[in-house]
Chain A
Amino acid sequence: MPLRDITTPAFFLGAAAALLVSVTLASPQVNDWVFRCCTLIMLATSWNLMANAGLISLGHSAFWGVGSYAAVLTANGLGLSLWLALLPAFAVGVLLGAFLAFATGRLRGIFFAISTLALSEGLRITAFMLPEVTSGAVGVFLKQELRPSQQVLYSLGVLGAIGSVALAWWLSRTRFHYACRAMRNNEAAAQMLGINPMRYRLGVLMVSGGMASLAGGINAWYGGYLDPGMAFTLHFTILSQIAPILGGIHTLVGPVIGSIGIIFLSEGTRIAFGANEGYSQLIFGVVLVIGILFMPHGIYGVYRRLRQRAARPRNHAPTHIHQAAEGTPKEMRS
């Protein structure tokens, strides 16, 4: 099934342009939602890239966290502006991805998942235990004078999301994508076809890691304050998985649809139910369970099935070859 889907370049560019324009015109509340959606799209696309290669990450907050800290600490330390500070964020994510690739070697499935979990928790504890570097538990504030206007941050979020999806789309048209898909299904067989799993694993983890860290860095600048709990919270790990699953895993638009859905759900329950945050997390859990059990291809999968059903010819031409001498219209209309 082709990965290049309904997002033809025209639609994509149109939506992108609309978003950028809206950033200048829309209210702060809507911009905030759009921003959160965009960073989540980056995170979800990154997770999806890994999943495409059969690597399930249960510790995506590791990348988010190191990106956040890199963006803020280098800025404070060297007085960098936003654009410059995001380079270390991206670089750190790429390096962490490479580290993970070498450390986990050929491990797959459960083992890989658990090592990502360990990485995330280990980094969180390290951030706590090195206050000289990270300001530890007290947290670190981004220096006020370095902050650009809100509009710049919103636009950056949108650009980040667009860039991530564009990168994923470009990758989907290259050999890289097919190699990863082969690895996902059977790494040994893929090797027989001449694919070097280690090289592709390295590639996936580096790209994916860099993307997620960049998202974390942008978000850290937006929020302005960081502490180890916030940076490495499990919440982002959960979101990074639910968004692609909800939207449609292994597809291009899946993470986008899923991210929008997630933000809708969480903000909706917050505003509707107000009193208890437990509800939105509960709904995430339900979405995850129902998604896995009944909707393994996510919202996008449902959409595609509906389109296929609509496209099926609705005439009386028989779809089975009948052995019976006479077939009534009813029987033939199977």
Chain B
Amino acid sequence: MELAPQMLVDAILLGGVYTLMVIGLALSFGITRVINFAHGEAIMFGAYGAFWLLTVWGIDPLLSLPLLLAGGFVAGFLVYETAVKRVLHAPHINQILLTFGLGLIFQNVALILWTGDERSANPNWAFDAFEFNMVVVPYGRLIGFLVAVMLVAALFAWLRWTELGRASRALAEHNEAAQLVGINVSLTYGIAFGISVALGVAMGVLVSFLGAINPFMGFHMLVKGFAILILGGLGNIMGAVFGAFILAFVETSVGYYVPNGIGWAEGMAFAILFAILVLRPRGLLGQEVEG
């Protein structure tokens, strides 16, 4: 079929972007066991940050990325220290509602500050594409993919080879034992949370030139993020990567091959989510889920 090459390219590029979207969420849940319902807002602030830096000071999103990453980390750490820490051992409902509430606050602060107008960042290179054999590869998408790959690789490297990264994994695997070995739980959690938010912010920077920005954009991504996490297995970072690519492929192929496919494509995430929950709640690579 003549659509297949383009479809494959689109799916792969989308998979990379989706991976970045969820990796932060996977990290924070994997390590702190708190689901951050405000992750979408981290993405949103990243997008606005990149947009304003470009519009007001002319800084290209790729250059502002490191700055925003740092900012995201600090913000995430602070949010952890002030709010999330207190509900670490609280019933699930408190954790969910706390982060949900934080998300609401952030959305509306953005709405009040910047109005609901749609924006988009337009760095010059985002408007170009290269073409070979009838397949169009937009630069913006490609660069987004490469950034995502780099950041995810960096994350895996951090987890594997740095002290803090290994400490985080230890905490995730066996909480009490890790503490016995002298790992500072609170600091490690805070750092993990900070990194998770930073990754969300990075996603936002990508979205700023790939799509449209508005204060409520975070929620849709959050919901998709959950679908991916559950598919891959909650708490398993590698699973999140697989899940991201699988969802990207399913969505793209439905978009191409099903009549009015794009209308249903957005619903694929939920169909998958429900199916997984019913058939195999642990997802692809996750641990057994207690009833």
Is there an interface contact between A110 and B83, defined as CB atoms closer than 8 Å? no
Please count how many residues in chain B sit with their CB below 8 Å of the partner chain's CB atoms. 44
| Residues in A neighbouring B74, C-beta threshold 8 A | none
* A279 on interface, CB distance cutoff 8 Å: yes
Q: A107-B291, A288-B98 are in contact. Are A118 and B270 (CB under 8 A)?
A: yes
| Residues in A neighbouring B67, C-beta threshold 8 A | none
| Residues in B neighbouring A212, C-beta threshold 8 A | none
* B94 on interface, CB distance cutoff 8 Å: yes
Is there an interface contact between B93 and A51, defined as CB atoms closer than 8 Å? yes
Least Cβ–Cβ distance between B29 and chain A, in angstroms: 9
Q: How far is the CA of A234 from the CA of B226 in the complex (A)?
A: 16
Mark A93-116 against chain B: 1 for CB-CB distance below 8 A, else 0. 000000000011111111101110
* A26 on interface, CB distance cutoff 8 Å: no
| Residues in B neighbouring A296, C-beta threshold 8 A | 94
Is there an interface contact between B266 and A125, defined as CB atoms closer than 8 Å? yes
* A236 on interface, CB distance cutoff 8 Å: no
The size bracket of the interface on A is: 35 or more
Is there an interface contact between A115 and B234, defined as CB atoms closer than 8 Å? no
User: Which residue of chain A lies nearest to B266 when distances are taken between CB atoms in the complex?
Assistant: A125
Q: How far is the CA of A128 from the CA of B265 in the complex (A)?
A: 13
Q: A122-B271, A129-B263 are in contact. Are A289 and B83 (CB under 8 A)?
A: yes
Mark A62-74 against chain B: 1 for CB-CB distance below 8 A, else 0. 0000000000000
Is there an interface contact between B226 and A114, defined as CB atoms closer than 8 Å? yes
User: Which residue of chain B lies nearest to A114 when distances are taken between CB atoms in the complex?
Assistant: B226
Q: How far is the CA of A234 from the CA of B35 in the complex (A)?
A: 19
Least Cβ–Cβ distance between A26 and chain B, in angstroms: 32
| Residues in A neighbouring B86, C-beta threshold 8 A | 293
Is there an interface contact between B108 and A107, defined as CB atoms closer than 8 Å? no
Q: A107-B289, A107-B291 are in contact. Are A289 and B277 (CB under 8 A)?
A: no
User: Which residue of chain B lies nearest to A103 when distances are taken between CB atoms in the complex?
Assistant: B278
Is there an interface contact between B112 and A279, defined as CB atoms closer than 8 Å? yes
Q: How far is the CA of A105 from the CA of B97 in the complex (A)?
A: 23
| Residues in A neighbouring B278, C-beta threshold 8 A | 103-105
| Residues in B neighbouring A135, C-beta threshold 8 A | none
A interface residues (Cβ-Cβ under 8 A, vs B)? 51, 56, 58, 103-111, 113-115, 117-119, 121-122, 125-126, 128-129, 187-188, 234, 238, 241, 245, 249, 276, 278-279, 281-282, 284-289, 291-293, 296
